[in-house]
Amino acid sequence: MRQRGQLVDAALDKFVPRRDYFPAKLHSAVRHSLFSGGKRLRPVLVLAAAEACGGSARDVLPAACALECIHTYSLIHDDLPAMDDDDLRRGQPTCHKVFGEAAAILAGDGLLTLAFELMARCPVRDDRQLAAIRLLAQASGMAGMVGGQMADIDAEGEEVSLPLLQYIHTHKTGRLIQASVLIGGALAGGTPAQLKALGVFGETMGLAFQIADDILNVVGTQEQLGKSTGTDSARGKATYPAYFGLEESRRQAQALLERGLAALEPFGRRAAPLRALANFTVQREV
């Protein structure tokens, strides 16, 4: 992940305007959030999925960067006072704390828009590019992350049903993780069977990732995670540990991991990086 993350960092540095490029406040705000030590999980998933389908990491690198742009925009907006009102992200003061709310909103908007430009810059067949752009729009928009975020905010302090909790988790976080592997596979020309398998893998990983995130919010520390912890319970958020308790949440994350790994079987050794990323997703401490 570290090695692949560096490849992504170098490409992002090339795609994003320099800090001093006018208007400097906007580009400084974008770079502050984009280069603050994220794990680059989503872009690395794009690269690994493309390679599992026999494609080349280099051809899908702009799309991998697009996933990180969308993810970073979502974090910037999520941290705003109107949403989660957080002061710390990736071990740094949040974007609006440093640059003000207007710049943070615009930095998020700029990253969201840049993502779609980058999606259109992958040197692959047009039909594959169009399919990938559509997947990203669906996963990040109202039928995906934006819808999940709305439901999450609306459910704060409420008692939620299991179907609502699952909707929030699969949409707020899960869809973008699933889209990462589907986009890698689609750009690499994966067969329908391969894309179906990646869809199952991505769906299980997306939910497992959010369950692990919920668990870390309870048992992790601010030093370890670079963000405030214990915040979910303080805000009355809908989480797996709140609904099921810690032990059952861990068991469900492990069961999802096993389902996800089973879906990768037809890929053989080419899916070794995806398997490693899946294990990391569930067992991570950062």
Q: Applying CB under 6 A, which residues contact ligand GRG?
A: 38-39, 41, 71, 74-75, 77-78, 90, 145-146, 149, 172-173, 210, 213
The minimum distance between CB 22 and ligand GRG, in angstroms, equals 27
The string of DSSP codes covering 231-284 is: HHHHHT---HHHHH-HHHHHHHHHHHHHHHHHHTGGGGGGGHHHHHHHHHHHH-
The minimum distance between CB 169 and ligand GRG, in angstroms, equals 9
The minimum distance between CB 213 and ligand GRG, in angstroms, equals 4
The minimum distance between CB 10 and ligand GRG, in angstroms, equals 17
CA distance 119 to 268: 28
The minimum distance between CB 269 and ligand GRG, in angstroms, equals 26
> Which residue, among 37, 141, 46, has the nearest Cα to 89 in the 3D structure?
37
Q: Output 173 or 194, the one with its CB closest to ligand GRG.
A: 173
CA distance 108 to 197: 32
The minimum distance between CB 265 and ligand GRG, in angstroms, equals 26
Q: Output 37 or 123, the one with its CB closest to ligand GRG.
A: 37
CB 130 within 8 A of CB 188: no
Q: Output 55 or 148, the one with its CB closest to ligand GRG.
A: 148
The minimum distance between CB 51 and ligand GRG, in angstroms, equals 20
Instruction: For residue 53, give the H/E element and its range.
Output: none
Quote the Cα angle for 119-183-262, to 5°.
165
Residue 93's DSSP bridge partners are 88
Q: Output 72 or 194, the one with its CB closest to ligand GRG.
A: 72
- The number of residues in the chain equals 286
Burial state string for 67-86 with b = 16 or more CB within 10 A and e = fewer than 16: bbbbbbbbbbbbbbeeebeb
Q: Identify whether 23 is preceded by a cis peptide bond (ω within 30 of 0).
A: yes
Helix boundaries (H) for 35-174 = 41-52, 57-78, 95-99, 101-119, 126-140, 145-155, 162-169
Q: Output 56 or 166, the one with its CB closest to ligand GRG.
A: 166
